[in-house]
Structure 1
Amino acid sequence: IDALAAARVQVVADSGYRGAGPTFDLPQRRRPADRDTGERRRLSPAQREVNAAHAAQRGPGERANAMFKSWKVLRKIRCCPQRTTALVNAIQTLILAG
């Protein structure tokens, strides 16, 4: 996280990364509770639209991570990053092939 922020890499992340830095795009939070009723205020239609677009951007990456987690060969990998990259690319090709 620190390396991404230091390199000023724009990241689309979930709300668990709140406070990670200005380069992290996060979904809109619900507004604080109303003091009179104690209920949390709903997001405006524009904020809901922003959250939907954010989820659409994050979705493909989340699905790819879920698929990679199902490949046992990646669970205890002990090789250099270049070989890992080649292995991930090969798995991605197999996934896309069918």
Structure 2
Amino acid sequence: AVRAASMKAYVLLDGTLLAIDRIAADRPFYSGKHHRHGINVQVIAGPFGELLWASPALPGAVHDVRAAREHGIVDALDQAGITCWADKGYQGARRTIRVPFRGRWSTLSAGQQAVNRSQAKIRALVERAMATLKTWRLLRKLRCSTTRITATVQAVVVLHQASSAAG
């Protein structure tokens, strides 16, 4: 993934929650933000929103920046010197991961607002990669063992890349 990302001008990083059918006893898989059980998957997309890589699945309660650190995404992008755009969920990562300024819109200066606006336009393309991933009906609500989800997600990424290369 780092080799493919190094050929790009920049990459986009974001996390998504894939819904699973779990019971309330499975506390680690419950995402308080989304109010449902799910799996956290980190996605690296190219500058045009193409899906480059998806991480192994982690429980839905794991925060995005923690998931990126656990998968080594932060260190790999930093060591390779690849510029990466991410959302506010990655505050405190490292210098190659660019995040918007924090604060309420009214408390930010005009320059900070302009920077956040331009970053939002760039980061909007990662939503295309997320939509591509979630168009696979299999991933809309996973009903399999949580140990099989990583292989399922990575198979979907490979199939998507193969279909987009052929077309």
Q: With structure 1 as the length reference, what TM-score do the two structures score?
A: 0.64
- Which consecutive unaligned segments of at least 5 residues does structure 1 have? 32-39
Separation in structure 2 between the aligned mates of residue 85 and residue 71 of structure 1, nearest angstrom: 10
Q: 2:85 aligns with which of 12, 20, 37?
A: 12
Q: 1:58 aligns with which of 102, 109, 123?
A: 123
The structure with the largest strand share of the pair is 2
C-alpha RMSD of the superposition = 3.0
Deviation at 1:72, TM superposition (A): 3.5
Deviation at 1:61, TM superposition (A): 1.3
The structure with the largest helix share of the pair is 1
Q: Secondary structure of 2:151's match? A: coil
Q: Secondary structure of 2:101's match? A: coil
Answer 1 or 2: higher relative contact order, Cα 8 Å, separation at least 6: 2
Deviation at 1:87, TM superposition (A): 1.4
Q: With structure 2 as the length reference, what TM-score do the two structures score?
A: 0.40
Q: Which region of structure 1 is more displaced relative to structure 2, 41-50 or 69-78?
A: 69-78
- Which consecutive unaligned segments of at least 5 residues does structure 2 have? 1-73, 143-148
Separation in structure 2 between the aligned mates of residue 24 and residue 45 of structure 1, nearest angstrom: 22
What amino acid is aligned across from residue 70 of structure 1 in structure 2?
T
Map 1:57-96; keep pairs closer than 5 Å.
Answer: 57-73=122-138, 76=149, 78=151, 86-89=158-161, 90=163, 92=164
Show structure 1 runs of 4+ deviating over 6 A. Answer: none
Separation in structure 2 between the aligned mates of residue 56 and residue 9 of structure 1, nearest angstrom: 19
Deviation at 1:70, TM superposition (A): 2.9
Aligned length: 83
Deviation at 1:51, TM superposition (A): 0.4
Separation in structure 2 between the aligned mates of residue 52 and residue 88 of structure 1, nearest angstrom: 30
Q: Structure 1 residues 87, 50: CA separation in 2 closer, same or farther (over 3 Å shift)? A: same
Separation in structure 2 between the aligned mates of residue 78 and residue 20 of structure 1, nearest angstrom: 27
Deviation at 1:17, TM superposition (A): 0.9
Separation in structure 1 between the aligned mates of residue 76 and residue 137 of structure 2, nearest angstrom: 28
